[in-house]
Each structure stands twice: as structure tokens, then as C-alpha cells.
Structure 1
């Protein structure tokens, strides 16, 4: 093979330089990658869940629609000015139980007895103020009017299920309880209405 002559070398160098230039990335380029999407607006806070209307914001019960013991107990209560009378519109699985006066210091209460089961369930407007109630309940219900109920097994072990109910605009802590189970307690809460 003949040695390269001086005239061939510059042509070879130009060819080599052109090949390198063709393979080199464009200025400011680099390896081709898919373009990143343009940043969008930062996500805002998740919308608050829509709360159900409170049962007691519905039509009030007439005094004749609830057992007379409710009004008798409430009329004697020391807290009646700050603790409106509420009663369940229906008793669900407790239908047929007999209401009677129950004792709640400073407040009012009505308990229901069933055959062989005294105080099977009931409702009370306790003498305790709603703002003084603090207990870590395992379950909570909230309503659109700002009311809330914490509930669970009474004393953590039962047998009754108990709810501490705070009704917006009322100064007392309502207690609702049931020995018929959690579902019955929740049903009682959903049936509570103010009484005329």
C-alpha cells in the first residue's frame, strides 16, 4: 500500500471532521429525551366532604307525638333554658319499649324498658355543658349544621353503646344510649327531632 501523500491527508482530515460533526449533539442539546410536561397549577386542598343535614333540622315533633314523660322531665330540668327537648321520631328495633323517667343530675332523661331489660335505651339532656365534653370516641358522626356525636361502647367495654351528642346552638351535652347494639344507637341518633 503506498504511503499517504500530503495532498490526501487534508482531505482525509476534512472527511473525519465532517463525520464527527454529524454525530455530535447540536449545541445546547444533549441526548434527545421526551419533553417534560409544563408544570400545571399546584393542587389545591381537597374539597371538604358534603355533610348530611342534621335530623333535628327537620320538622319538629308535636308535643302530642311523643310520650308525655319527655315534657314532664324536661319541664323540671334545671337546664331546660339551654337544652332543648329532643325525642326520637321512631324507635326502630326498640319499638314497643315502655318509656319512663330517668335521673340525670341537672338535666332530664327518658329511658325505655323492654321485658327483662331495664334501661334498654334512652335519651338525656345532661347537666354537663357541651363545650366541656372531651373523650376520645372510636366513632364520630358530623352534620351540616355543625353538630357532632362521638360514640362507642360505654366505658370502652359495654354492654351499652353510648353517644355524646353536641347539637349546634344548644348548651348541654346530650347522651343517647342503647343496649340493642351500635346500629340501633346510630338509628336513634338519626331519628332525633326537636319537640314543640
Structure 2
């Protein structure tokens, strides 16, 4: 099959697909390649009062103030009601960790959290994890177990379109980490 025949076949398939779906407002070939909006692009930015004050305190001390604050809202379903936020060490960047006083009968320090680690390229990130997602705003997410250790905490790397690099982690579960990512928002 030559290129002209292939394009013709694709065009016929697109017309047939549109006729079948009756929702042909956009080119189906374009629809198949359209990336989803990122959670932080899809929702309004949070006000400072809607997040732990630790985010701003840490961001002001960061070497990377040109990177926006990505945070979890105080009343987000990703926040465990009994969690206490605190500053966490993150070389040059800023980090907020959440500690639990009682998780499965014991305290759990750094149960989950959000950190900015400066800037990087998505191509420089570890590519061994199966979960990878590109977003329409140029953001990229990959996640897996820290150190590929089956017992390790869940860790996600997020790179925004400007190169700002974030570590998001959860010791609770993969589902919790994915919920956190889905509820991350920019902070004004």
C-alpha cells in the first residue's frame, strides 16, 4: 500500500467513524492525538489560605522561586484528616511533608508530600517505570516504587513545561499517590 492509498483509507475510516458516532465536531485523527489537560491546568489556582502555610514558607526560602507552588488543598480528599504538615528538607528546593500520628497502630513520618527539586528535562528522568503520562500543557508525569523496591514508597516525578521538577510521594498506596497528583493545584 502506498502513502496515497494509506491516506485515502484513513480518510474513509475517519468519515465512517464520524458518521457512526454522529459527534464529528473535530477531526477524529486529531482527537486520537489530543493530550488531556493536566490537573493543575484544568482547575483554578488555590488561594494561599486554602493550603498549609508551610508551602509559602518553604517556597520563600527556596533557590527556585521561579517555579510555581504545586500543592494539595487543605480540604482535598487526598489529605488524610489527621495528617500534620511540616517543612521537609529538600536541597535547594522546597518540600512539605505530611506526618500521621497513627497509621496502622504506629506513627508514620513523611507519609506523603510534595517537593520542588529545581528544574530538569523529562528526558533526564528515570524511564523505568511503566506509568508515564504527557499533558496538553507540556507537563509530564511518571511514577513507580522508589528504587524499584516492591516495599518502597510510591514516588512520582512531575516536570512542568518550563522544566520545574517536582517529587510527589506516598507511603500509603499507589491509589493515594494518583489521587494526590489528580488534586495538585497551582497556588497564587
Classify the TM-score, shorter chain.
Answer: 0.7 to 0.9
User: For residues 46-94 of structure 1, what are the alpha-carbon distances to aligned partners after superposition, in whole Å with 9 as ceiling and x for unaligned?
Assistant: 833443221112211001111111100000001112x111101314262
Does 2:22 correspond to 1:55?
A: no
Go from structure 1 to structure 2 and tell me whether the alpha carbon gap of 1:86 and 1:129 turns closer, same or farther (over 3 Å shift).
same
How many residues align? The count is 156
Aligned 8 A contact 1:105 1:127 in 2: no
The whole-number CA distance in structure 1 between the counterparts of 2:141 and 2:89 is: 22
Matches within 5 A, 1:21-170: 41-43=8-10, 47=29, 48-57=32-41, 58-81=43-66, 83-89=67-73, 90-92=76-78, 94-115=80-101, 116-130=107-121, 133-136=124-127, 137-157=129-149, 158-169=151-162
Aligned 8 A contact 1:104 1:127 in 2: no
Go from structure 1 to structure 2 and tell me whether the alpha carbon gap of 1:185 and 1:105 turns closer, same or farther (over 3 Å shift).
same
Aligned 8 A contact 1:133 1:173 in 2: no
Aligned 8 A contact 2:83 2:100 in 1: yes
Q: CA deviation at 1:95?
A: 3.0
Q: CA deviation at 1:132?
A: 6.4
With the length of structure 1 as denominator, give the TM-score of the two structures.
0.72
Aligned 8 A contact 2:72 2:78 in 1: no
SS of the residue corresponding to residue 43 of structure 1 reads helix
Query: In the alignment, which residue of structure 1 is the partner of 2:20?
Result: none
Aligned 8 A contact 2:122 2:140 in 1: no
Higher helix proportion (structure 1 or 2): 2
Query: Superposition RMSD on alpha carbons, in Å?
Result: 2.2
Aligned 8 A contact 1:93 1:184 in 2: no
